Structure 1
Amino acid sequence: MAQLGQLEAAVMERLWRWDRPAPVREVLEDMQQDRQIAYTTVMTVLDNLHRKGMVMREKNGRAYVYRPTRSRESHTAELMEQVLARTSNRGGALLRFVEQMSEDEIAELRGALTKIEDSTGRRGTR
């Protein structure tokens, strides 16, 4: 999966935040609070996201409504996996990443690892 462009990310952030299907017009009106943007631009961005498999669309009357195909967390995890796949030293990269985390983030990570261990009976999936 490729990283999202600036407009694609702005559209996806809204769809993830709303957590419901939305038409082009609603995305446009929300984006216009931050910047001048044309209806056709938002429509093109949503079409591109649909083609990339990031959103699904369905007819609602005469217009399409769009919703994400995956959660923000799943998307972020996939991006992180792609970055880790490009290094020859996953452990070293993970160590450097964790060293930059706050105490609260480390506590969240520990909780997530415990949850995985409890639900699968093993440590991680690799």
Structure 2
Amino acid sequence: MTESDGERRPAGELEASVLAALWSAGNPMSAAQVRAAIPQPLARTTVATLLIRLHEKGVVGRSPAARGFLYFPVADSHGLTARRMHQELDQDHDRSTVLARFVEGLGPDDEAELRRLLEGGGQ
């Protein structure tokens, strides 16, 4: 076995490929369709496992189909990033301090954008 044969790809990289395929499709996809749409040559069972894990995390939804399920993203990439930020915030009992530290780390442009959004500027 060569070194590259034994290397494992990070799960995050594979999940990102699956999500990218679902986002670009614009409609629900079966595991086989996702497998055909991603650049990595993965086994059908690997893709199915990734989709199940993403469903368990609440990142993709699914609906019954003739054979198995059709999967779809529950949010766009920006929505998923916001969701991860909320999950991190929810893990600490002192939300105020976490938010204060987050704001302290913002650059001037991000701080101005956050202020604009908080004042009702919307997107």
Q: CA deviation at 1:46?
A: 0.6
Q: Is 1:40 paired with 2:45?
A: yes
Number of residues of Structure 1 aligned to a counterpart in Structure 2? 107
Q: CA deviation at 1:43?
A: 0.8
SS of match in other structure, 1:65: strand
Q: Is 1:7 paired with 2:14?
A: yes
CA RMSD of aligned residues (A): 3.0
Q: CA deviation at 1:28?
A: 0.5
**Which residue of 99, 102, 108 corresponds with 1:90?**
99
Residues 1:95 and 1:69: Cα distance change in structure 2 (over 3 Å): same
Q: Hey, what does 1:18 align to over in structure 2? A: 25
Matches within 5 A, 1:1-126: 5-31=12-38, 34-84=39-89, 86=92, 88-99=97-108, 106=109, 110=113, 114=116, 117-118=119-120
Q: Distance in 1 between matches of 2:98 and 2:58?
A: 30
Q: Distance in 1 between matches of 2:27 and 2:60?
A: 11
User: Which one-letter code corresponds to 2:44 in the other structure?
Assistant: Y
Q: After superposition, give the CA deviation of every residue in 1:79-99 in whole Å (9 maximum; x if it has no partner).
A: 223445658353343232335
Q: Hey, what does 2:6 align to over in structure 1? A: none
Q: Distance in 2 between matches of 1:97 and 1:82?
A: 19
Q: CA deviation at 1:14?
A: 2.1
User: Which one-letter code corresponds to 1:49 in the other structure?
Assistant: L
Q: Distance in 1 between matches of 2:27 and 2:107?
A: 33
Tell whether the 8 Å contact from 1:84 to 1:93 is kept in structure 2 after alignment.
no
Percent identity, aligned pairs only, is: 28
Given the two structures, how large is their TM-score scaled by the length of structure 1?
0.63
Q: Distance in 2 between matches of 1:36 and 1:70?
A: 26
Q: What stretches of structure 1 move > 6 A for 4+ residues in a row?
A: none
